[in-house]
Amino acid sequence: MSPELMSLMMFIMLALFILTGMPLAFALAATATITGFIDYGFNVDALVGVFMNNTWGVMGNFVIVAVPLFILMAQLLERSQISEALFEALYVVIGKINGGLGVAVVIVCVILAATTGIVGASVVGMTLLAIPTMLEKGYDKGISCGLICAGGTLGILIPPSIMLVVFGGLTGLKETSVGNLFAGAVIPGMMLAGLYLIYVAVRCNINPKLGPQISAQEAAKYTTQDKIIMTIKSLIPPLFLILSVMGTILFGIATPSEAAALGVIGATILAAFYRKLTWQVIKESSYNTLKITSMVMMLFVCGNLFSSEFLAIGGGDVITDLLVGGALKDYPLVVLSIMLLAVFLLGMFIDWVAILLITIPIFLPITMDLGFDPLWFSMLMCITLQTSFLTPPFGYSLFYFAGAAPKGKYDMMLIYKGVMPFILLQLIGIILCVIFPSIITYLPKLFFG
């Protein structure tokens, strides 16, 4: 069977397995196994040997050590409830301007992204914390749900991000090391947060009914000194954690795995600071870390089997010839657009981990053939993957929000409409990074040369 037919068969088979409801990891492994049997002439011993070597290679990747540590850090922080004190302080400080609560939501989401890095925790936590207040103050439902869903997705991009750790582990390139990816993600993440802030501030100042300010009576309850003390007390603990993790990586003091261990220590101290460090919290955090890490590693192993078999049958060459072997080779930006569009469309239906496992082995060699900076392209992929949490019909953030929102206040169609402006803002962010590559490459060059 030709490589073209085998490649097409693999993707059709994977799609059918997913549509039947089979867990993604098993769908990837089953597709790789069936294709492998055909490719190796039903030689079971040869196929098992190849799969064992691939699995051993994944398990020997030391970068992955950071995954359970960052997950444990996030689990501890989720239970320390740092967002509550921070939101309350910002509510008092900037709630008196139009759209002030929306601005507070974005700022808290950025802090959560730079500490926990878990989208579900950020979206659910901010929904429970901010939506009742925003509805009470008369905020537009579309803006309120869009802000929380979009702000929560920053956790997958702003370091320390599990996605960036996984990405760095998959590529194995010096240019796309976890440290470089972390540094490259800082400015794009802040840029997206800035776009959200500008959007909510402009819309609410044009039409104050969309995001009214809090009453003068509420604002007058606190003196200037009270506001300063509240802000400092709520900001210093998470900033201490951010510095202990990101600072040690960017300044070359620690590797990502070592920084993740420091993050766990810092998260434990913060949980104790907020008086949330109990035996129950430690037990639940450890158990959830085990579950999530097991899921990620299963996807990692099974996705590696899929991608290695796809490359073994010549699928990578088929895609490369299709994109850069014909007339398109003279139009590298068109090829780039096609690859990012593929990632965007896949994000509407499947998980980011699967998208990385399927696309990285195919797309990264193509970008290097075209002469693109691997780090620049990798970050473009990661920013595009962030949209997968917002794009209907299966954006995870939308369902997180719907599950946590007050009953009867939001339906799915309203949530879909509410996130549309923020998907457009994310696409604008991607375009800006394409036009101005230094948005991505400046900090990695500054810190790592």
Residues 343-395 pLDDT 10s: 898 888 777 887 888 888 888 888 888 888 999 999 999 999 888 888 887 77
Is 151 in contact with 193 (CB distance < 8 Å)?
A: yes
Residue 218 CB partners (closer than 8 Å, separation 6+): 95
What's the CA gap between 168 and 178, in Å, rounded? 5
Q: How confident is the model at residue 85 (pLDDT cuts 50, 70, 90)?
A: confident
Checking if the pLDDT of 217 tops 80, the result is no
Residue-wise DSSP of 375-418: HHHHHHHHHHHHGGGTSSSS-HHHHHHHHHSPTTT--HHHHHHH
Distance of CA 287 to the CA centre of its chain: 22
Confidence at residue 194, expressed as pLDDT on a 0 to 100 scale: 94
Is 120 in contact with 292 (CB distance < 8 Å)?
A: no
Compute the average pLDDT of residues 84-106.
81
Compute the average pLDDT of residues 229-236.
79
What's the CA gap between 153 and 147, in Å, rounded? 10
Checking if the pLDDT of 84 tops 80, the result is no
| Residue 324 in tokens | 């850069």
Q: Is 21 helix (H, G, I), strand (E, B) or coil?
A: coil
Q: Could you tell me the residue ranges of all domains in the chain?
A: 1-60+299-311, 64-277+395-448
Confidence at residue 324, expressed as pLDDT on a 0 to 100 scale: 67
Residue among 65, 51, 158 at smallest CA distance from 112: 158
Would you put residue 167 in left (φ > 0), alpha (ψ -120 to 50) or beta? alpha
Compute the average pLDDT of residues 167-174.
82
Mean per-residue pLDDT of the chain = 83
Which pLDDT tens digit goes with each residue over 18-55? 788 788 788 888 888 888 888 877 777 877 887 887 77
Is 344 in contact with 384 (CB distance < 8 Å)?
A: yes
Its pTM stands at 0.84
